[in-house]
Chain A
Amino acid sequence: MIGYIKSHVVRWVVPLAAVMTVLLLGSYDLRGADPTVQVRFDASKAGPRVVESLTEERILRDYRFAWTSLTQAMEYNTLDPLEGPFVGTAKQWLAQTVVSQRQTGLRSQYTQQNHTLEAVFYAPEGDVIELHDTAEYHLQVLDGDKEIHNEQVIVRYVVLMTPAADRWVIRQMQAVPQF
């Protein structure tokens, strides 16, 4: 009998635990990497400083995380996701939007996001980078449950990012009609 139980434990519980571990690790790894936020990043044209490959990876990771956070903040009208990826003017504007949405009962959903990100300026000392993001997404604005706006749109953003202690943060994010 004990042998039977042991064989079942080995046959089912161990693989199940392995699968759960992989899933948990996977979900941790994908923290801030919402698969609906796609970002392509080209840093080859930045100057005067060359963007180092590790910096390029970090900016890509942090920019994508910032948009995931923005999406959550705008959809659920919560300020918490803005802590960390945004500072300065960008954070202030987004926080104001969230507070205004709360007051008016509105919320905004950004889905199917595809960002084509290009670095256009990287300061000589590496303390600021300017990016151009051609963002295509689906924007839905709701008043309660009533849809008041729905569009598939391409919006161009001029973005200033600066390095913080452990990540790159968005300091300025300004939509423009054209670059």
Chain B
Amino acid sequence: MTLAQDPHLPTSAVAGDETTISTSGNGQAILYLVGPGVASKREISLGEDIHLPSRELQNAGRYVVSVCSDACRSGSFYVAAAEPASLTFLVHPSRVPVGLSDAISGVALPFDPFHNLVRVPMAITFQLTSGKTAMMSRSVQTQDGVAWFRTSSGKDAGVLHVVAAVDELSARRAVQQVASEPCNLRIKGQRTPKAILVETEPVRDCSGNPVPDGTIVTFTAAEADGKSTVDAPIKQGVARAQIIVTKAAVISAASGVVMGNELRLGAQP
């Protein structure tokens, strides 16, 4: 048994493709293959081509081949990722107020059928659509297997569809755009026999989107001898509170950093 020289290894191999190793010499030997996810050995006849099946070469990376008879001779070769078969697409956040700059970002990474990261540069198209309105369409070249974008949220509340696409592949995510801070908070009130019933007009943000139910509006009644406050959640677009006031009072409302108008009420007759 003689092993004349190092095994002749492929200069390039692609994940999931079979490849061939050639050896020189004559007699029997053992061929070892050690790589990502594989460590195999088999008897071979020196001087013949050895076929490495595709199942042994599915993972991209470095493979060491050793051919041992009396002595061992070895070498290595790399397997590259195949064509992309899926896109990992990370989009943040899942819920965002409208009109916020640089509020939405996405990262896309192409992977081949064997979960290898595809590092060959390719153009990934990011598309953002709100209703029937296209908000953004941008083509970004992957660098080291990654493409990303960052953009502002739109003006209308609702579902924002975010799509990353390369060739026939696409990945879709949804971002819920919600109203921003309330704008032009206005209140009105009426006396009842025991208290004052105050309520807001429908609360909207500066783009006209209804502020979500559950948002807290704080009503404050300032009398000569003190203040009282009531926190009320918005229900069906309107916040309501009942405040017990017997003397002259100024009633105001606030939500977040936004102040509403004031109501000046005289003393109860």
Contact = CB atoms under 8 A, between A and B. Distances in A.
Contacts of A93: 36-37, 59, 61
Contacts of B115: 88-89, 92, 172
B72 A96 contact: no
Contacts of B14: none
A22 to B, nearest CB: 41
B146 A130 contact: yes
B66 A141 contact: yes
Contacts of A149: 32, 34, 64, 66, 72, 74
B62 interface: yes
Interface stretch (A11-19, A36-44, A52-60, A100-108): A100-108
Interface string A108-132: 1000000000001101110110101
Secondary structure of the A contact surface, majority rule = strand
A176 B116 CA distance: 11
A124 B80 CA distance: 28
A147 B148 CA distance: 46
B68 interface: yes
Which of A93, A96, A146 lies at the interface centre, i.e. has the most chain B CB atoms within 10 A of its CB? A93
Secondary structure of the B contact surface, majority rule = strand
Nearest to A88: B115
Which of B37, B60, B76 lies at the interface centre, i.e. has the most chain A CB atoms within 10 A of its CB? B37
A139 interface: yes
Nearest to A95: B37
A121 B146 contact: yes
Interface in A123-178: 123-125, 127-128, 130, 132, 139, 141, 143, 146-149, 151, 153, 155, 158, 160, 172, 174-177
B78 interface: yes
Nearest to A101: B39
27 contacts: A88-B115, A92-B115, A93-B36, A96-B38, A97-B38, A101-B39, A108-B39, A121-B143, A125-B92, A128-B109, A132-B144, A139-B64, A143-B41, A143-B68, A148-B68, A149-B64, A149-B66, A149-B72, A149-B74, A155-B62, A158-B119, A158-B144, A160-B117, A172-B115, A174-B81, A174-B116, A175-B78
Given A108-B34, A175-B60, 6 more contacts: A97-B37, A120-B144, A130-B144, A148-B32, A160-B117, A179-B144
